[in-house]
A and B are shown apart, each in its own frame.
Chain A
Amino acid sequence: KAGVTQTPRYLIKTRGQQVTLSCSPISGHRSVSWYQQTPGQGLQFLFEYFSETQRNKGNFPGRFSGRQFSNSRSEMNVSTLELGDSALYLCASSGALANTGELFFGEGSRLTVL
């Protein structure tokens, strides 16, 4: 079974631009979550989607948004990029029906903002 796939793996943008990152969960998984990983802040939760509905959200500004499609694929968008948005963005999926399940992470999209 294929794992969580994130595209693109690497990208470089300049301040003020916007970026869209894509995540394809493991087949059959309906829960998709996004995390930001930086050396300074560590791993921080962005948001979580289930069946096309956002059901949890972290403490990030409105420039960060996401959505989930009917096939469970998810995208996240960051508008008006800032230097501090440079990070590894990780997507995770789960097929668990209860909240005792573990998350399965993709390899991430590394964003560099110049």
Chain B
Amino acid sequence: AQSVAQPEDQVNVAEGNPLTVKCTYSVSGNPYLFWYVQYPNRGLQFLLKYITGDNLVKGSYGFEAEFNKSQTSFHLKKPSALVSDSALYFCAVRDRGSTLGRLYFGRGTQLTVWP
């Protein structure tokens, strides 16, 4: 069965410091991987995705993610955090054999960046 784990419910970092939000997955084959962000009382916004190729993918707002096939991980990173990055972050996977709309989401990680 497909599953996505975000081992940290909460991540706290100081503004200007690098941040990492962790994600591991258990999906048969080579899935497609996504990161989304959710601000309070809002929907999810797409940040980036890994389909194939370079293990480091760059996305919106200075975020990037590193795909590690051997560790089945897809950690979200940013070199210098901003207070405005504070939000709920979701990792998601799609089985390559599945339909477009079917994503499996992690439980989310609340990122707080303090000034």
Query: Could you list which residues of chain A lie within 8 angstroms of chain B, going by C-beta atoms?
Result: 4, 31-33, 42-43, 45, 48-50, 55-56, 90, 92, 94, 96, 98-108, 110
Contacts and interface: CB of A to CB of B under 8 A. Distances in A.
A92 B100 CA distance: 11
Contacts of B36: 105
Nearest to A57: B102
Interface of B: 32, 34, 36, 41-46, 49, 51, 90, 94, 96, 98-108
Nearest to B6: A42
Nearest to A3: B43
**Does more than half of chain B's interface fall in helix, strand or loop, or is it mixed?**
loop
Contacts of A104: 46
A48 B102 contact: yes
Given A42-B105, A103-B101, A103-B103, A4 B43 contact: yes
